[in-house]
Amino acid sequence: MGGVSDTMTDSEEESFVRLPDELTLENSSPEMTPERLQQEIEKYKELCLAKEERGKLLQEKQELEKELEELEERRVAWEAQAKAPPSLPDRKMLFKGHVTEAEDVNALVVAPRIQRALSGGSALLTFEEPEVAQRILEMKWHEVKLDESAACEGRVRVQAEPVELLLPSALEIELKLSDRCILLSSLPSLDLSEEQLLDKLELFFSKEKNGGGEVEQRELLSDSGHVVLTFVHDGVAEQLVKKGRIQVPIGKQTYELKVTPYMSGQITDLQVRPSVCAKTVLLSGIPDILDEESMRDALEIHFQKPSRGGGEVDALGYVPVWGQALAVFEEDTD
């Protein structure tokens, strides 16, 4: 049997890791004492902390740059809105002698319309004078005489309660100027359905020769009777707005329509406060023993008589036991 060769090939030598002997280690680097090891650890910790702090600063820088970009976009948008023509339709105005303080000229006046559920077997009474409503509330319980002609003699006992509502005290609205929409106003009163009117407007404003373009959406605003057109491409709305007024043929006649930018908005903050109606009281506990018209008459007759604490009734809303309704409250301008 042959002996083991003492020689190795070059490839075999490369497959081994040679460790330096003790003398070589001492000569090549300083001795790694516990004190030096602790120093190296502390340096490494400081390096890690510095790297982490740098990362945080970079992240904060990016967030601040992003916030700055958003603020710049908002500034440009507001400047564009300020330079744009008013997006209000034509309205006939007349000065009637009312003046206001200069500090109030920038205030937005909102006329609230509050809806409140009115359950069956109840009624709302609004008197012309608030003093009458206060007397009715102080008496609380009332014996209402029924109409003898209704073949139902006797009285019913109802309770009077104050009407409490939540009214807006502060309102914040975020407005946005749409770059693809226009508002069409000064529309004539025509014997056309909503769809027919929108079709004719879309047909006209979708043609390039009229300064328009492809219409993506159209909408008739029911509260004002104006029309909003949304175009597919940018720039169309801007060119139409620059014209201001456009002659549009509808049927056999041509009408001049006003074109203005369309601004949309949403409520970003709404604060409310409790309020008690000064002239209105709520009557509850009304039984279902008379038809609706007869019960209304009986209530109005009773609460109009000064001998029973009543006075002139301005409005009355009655809901039978089997029904329900929504009562709409508007601001008292008297």
Label residue 98 by pLDDT band (50, 70, 90): low
Nearest to 88 by CA among 194, 199, 244: 244
Three-class SS of 270-321:
EEEEEEEEEEEEEEECCCCCCCHHHHHHHHHHHHHCHHHCCCCEEEEEEECC
Label residue 23 by pLDDT band (50, 70, 90): very low
In a domain, 24, yes or no: no
Q: Amino acid identity, residue 10?
A: D
In a domain, 23, yes or no: no
Domain range spanning residue 79? 34-83
Label residue 21 by pLDDT band (50, 70, 90): very low
> Against a cut of 0.85, is the pTM above it?
no
- The verdict on 281 and 316 lying in the same domain is yes
Domain stops at, among 43, 63, 83:
83
User: Residue 255 maps to which CATH number?
Assistant: 3.30.70.330
**Tally of structural domains, the chain:** 3
pLDDT at position 81: 52
pLDDT at position 107: 56
- The verdict on 238 and 228 lying in the same domain is yes
Report the distance separating Cα 231 and Cα 179, nearest Å: 9
Mean pLDDT of the chain: 79
pLDDT at position 113: 75
82: left (phi over 0), alpha (psi -120 to 50) or beta: alpha
- Extract the tokens encoding 126: 């609004």
Average pLDDT on 123-134 reads 91
In a domain, 298, yes or no: yes
Residue 133 has pLDDT above 70, yes or no: yes
Region of poorest pLDDT, from 1-10, 45-54, 151-160, 301-310: 1-10
Average pLDDT on 78-95 reads 54
Average pLDDT on 144-152 reads 61
- The verdict on 188 and 254 lying in the same domain is yes
In a domain, 263, yes or no: yes
Report the distance separating Cα 262 and Cα 217, nearest Å: 13
Nearest to 314 by CA among 324, 306, 304: 304
In a domain, 1, yes or no: no
- The verdict on 250 and 275 lying in the same domain is no
Label residue 93 by pLDDT band (50, 70, 90): low
Label residue 31 by pLDDT band (50, 70, 90): low
Report the distance separating Cα 120 and Cα 284, nearest Å: 9
Average pLDDT on 21-32 reads 48
The separation between the first and the last C-alpha atoms of the chain, rounded to the nearest angstrom, is 127
Domain stops at, among 216, 247, 269:
269
Label residue 95 by pLDDT band (50, 70, 90): low
pLDDT at position 17: 43
